[in-house]
């Protein structure tokens, strides 16, 4: 886990969380490290609610611009806690999850980007999480799978319809119907992963922090609005219709904000912009 090297004063304290450790490795960046290594960072029901609260706090906290999620030990996330799932099955009870899905990520819309730093096994719900993250970095020994069919269950957390838009129909079918494991290099070739780095949890987190820092240096208003535009295309909206809606919803908000004027002024004055927290 990356050490805490930045301690901002938050407008509200971070939410209480038992399944992960929160740290702040660089200005504007939140690092969430899943911390159940003995359980391969599988997530119990309560953990989904906790993580959902963390991502909501990220969106609302002015001092933060980007989130990163990774795992402690040899796994990023092995999916759901199957022992807990089995107990629910035996008792005929349900396993509640927030509307934003597995770990509060698999169906999250949100405002601010989240980067996955995949340090090892990324199975089931773990893969469902990263399919909906904004960027994904993996180390060379990372592996991805949707093995639900091998257990008689289904990846209901949102991966199949999102996966097809990322890797294409036949590759999505291969992952979902066979349950086979896809290595890091193959995942990068498929477009599921942005970068593959040398083995080691620290290296993959460092690579994610590098990307996150590049994002955090930009206008927070422009990052949020640009992300919305990309999402509209990825979620199936036609290019022209998406552009029209995007402009109608966001263009006026951007123009009213301080950061657009600051960015242009800084360029003219040949200096680095001083951004204000987004107020969109």
Residues marked as catalytic = 80, 125, 128, 148
Q: Are 121 and 130 in contact (CB under 8 A)?
A: no
180: how many CB neighbours lie within 10 A of its CB? 12
If residue 30 lies in a helix (H) or strand (E), which one and from where to where? Answer: strand 29-34
DSSP single-letter state for residue 80: B
Residue 130 Cα distances to 65, 133, 142, 260, angstroms: 19, 5, 12, 31
Q: What is the DSSP letter of 271?
A: S
DSSP secondary structure letters along 104-156: GTTT---SS-EEEEE-SEEETHHHHHHHTSSEEEEETT-EEE-GGGGGT---T
φ, ψ of residue 186 in degrees (nearest 5):
-65, -40
């Amino acid at each position: 886990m990356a050490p805490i090297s930045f301690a901002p004063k938050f407008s509200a304290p971070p939410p209480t969380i038992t399944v992960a450790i929160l740290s702040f490795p660089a200005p504007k960046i939140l690092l969430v490290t899943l911390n159940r290594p003995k359980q391969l960072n599988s997530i119990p029901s309560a953990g989904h609610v906790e993580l959902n609260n963390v991502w909501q706090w990220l969106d609302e906290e002015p001092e933060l611009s980007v989130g990163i999620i990774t795992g402690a030990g040899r796994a990023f996330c092995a999916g759901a806690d199957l022992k807990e799932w089995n107990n629910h099955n035996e008792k005929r009870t349900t396993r509640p999850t927030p509307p934003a899905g597995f770990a509060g990520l698999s169906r999250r819309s949100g405002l601010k980007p989240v980067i996955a730093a995949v340090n090892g096994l990324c199975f089931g719900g773990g893969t469902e999480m990263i399919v909906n993250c904004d960027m994904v970095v993996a180390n060379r020994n990372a592996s991805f799978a949707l093995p639900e069919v091998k257990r008689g269950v289904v990846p209901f957390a949102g991966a199949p319809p999102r996966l097809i838009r990322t890797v294409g129909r036949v590759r999505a079918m291969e992952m979902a119907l066979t349950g086979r494991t896809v290595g890091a290099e193959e995942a990068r070739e498929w477009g599921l992963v942005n970068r593959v780095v040398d083995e080691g949890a620290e290296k993959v987190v460092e690579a994610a922090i590098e990307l996150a820092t590049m994002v955090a240096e930009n206008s927070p208003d422009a990052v949020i609005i640009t992300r919305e535009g990309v999402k509209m295309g990825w979620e199936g909206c036609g290019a022209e219709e998406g552009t029209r809606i995007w402009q109608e919803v966001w263009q006026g908000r951007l123009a009213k904000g301080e950061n657009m004027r600051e960015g242009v002024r800084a360029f003219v004055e040949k200096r680095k912009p001083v951004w204000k927290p987004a107020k969109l």
